[in-house]
A and B are shown apart, each in its own frame.
Chain A
């Protein structure tokens, strides 16, 4: 595999991440964010387990309890908090605005790394942080958009179920 193949893989990844919010917003016309989160995690875990079986069979079969505990911590932070609120954000603010705000996640990681592990805050990181803050301010100052047009009404739904 060449350098160019790596770039193509990264671009496919970018399209995958980018499409997630748009598909989620489309799905939320009928389905609640929590349900989308559950289904997306189930489908995602099946696909990634298949890839793990192909690429990392040894790691998959010899995983330690400590590793599983750290993965559990990551799962708690990334999915009931990260992905669920991601989809709630998409529902209320729209895919474009929510994705742009969620894009600041690497800044949070860097900030925590600087705070917890005494990593150095460089001039480049500082410039990046200022640009992100200006970008977020622009997005926040934008006029409120229409939220997702839902074809369902929660009260109606409950009546149907009852």
Chain B
């Protein structure tokens, strides 16, 4: 079991050799991620509709998720704690803060806005990512016009799907 998890960990955490185009690995991972988020939302919708409040559900979901991922990848965390400089953890901590701001404020906005307004607003976050990437990490992530046009079409499409 540990060998299987170890192999999975190798693939998942970036030790893949340079045989494959990194960009395609990234896009494939992003599609798998969308499948995970998209299918998870079905279970989430059932819980918040029938059983408990949205913030409570999210809090427990994050806790369970943290325990699961820690159980699978605690060795990577151990290695990173030993090898990474302290300042490297600052953006990592802010990643958690920004993600939780996203979730919490999304739920709070849903209480006050109809879905046809909140869904397109929140669904536009890829455009925010593009703008922030262009401003702050231009050296790490080069943004092209094709990506911008593609993201705009995805956001408009998601707006239609959310309204429909």
| Interface residues of A, Cβ cutoff 8 Å to B | 1-3, 5-7, 9-27, 29-45, 47-49, 51-52, 55-56, 59-60, 63-64, 66-68, 70-86, 88-113, 116, 122-149, 152, 154, 157-158, 160-161
Evaluate contact between A34 and B9: CB separation under 8 angstroms.
yes
Report how far A23 CA is from B98 CA in the complex, Å: 9
Q: Which of B124-140 contact A (CB under 8 A)?
A: 124-134, 136-137, 139-140
| Interface residues of B, Cβ cutoff 8 Å to A | 9, 12-15, 21-47, 51-53, 55-66, 68-70, 72-74, 76-77, 79-85, 88-89, 91-106, 108-109, 111-113, 117-119, 121-134, 136-137, 139-144, 146-164
Residue of A nearest to B31 (CB): A101
Q: Which of A36, A47, A102 meets B95, CB within 8 Å? A: A36
Q: Which of A5, A44, A94, A135 meets B140, CB within 8 Å? A: A94
Report how far A6 CA is from B157 CA in the complex, Å: 23
Report how far A161 CA is from B77 CA in the complex, Å: 12
Measured CB to CB, the closest approach of chain B to A78, in angstroms, equals 4
Secondary structure dominating the interface of B:
helix
Residue pairs across A and B with CB atoms within 8 Å: the count is: 547
Residue among B84, B93, B98 having the largest count of chain A Cβ atoms under 10 Å: B98
Evaluate contact between A74 and B47: CB separation under 8 angstroms.
yes
Chain A positions within 8 Å of B45 at CB level: 109
Measured CB to CB, the closest approach of chain B to A138, in angstroms, equals 4
Measured CB to CB, the closest approach of chain B to A57, in angstroms, equals 9
Chain A positions within 8 Å of B132 at CB level: 18-19, 22, 95
Chain B positions within 8 Å of A1 at CB level: 112
Chain A positions within 8 Å of B59 at CB level: 45, 48-49, 51-52, 60
Measured CB to CB, the closest approach of chain B to A49, in angstroms, equals 5
Chain A positions within 8 Å of B113 at CB level: 3, 6-7, 9-10
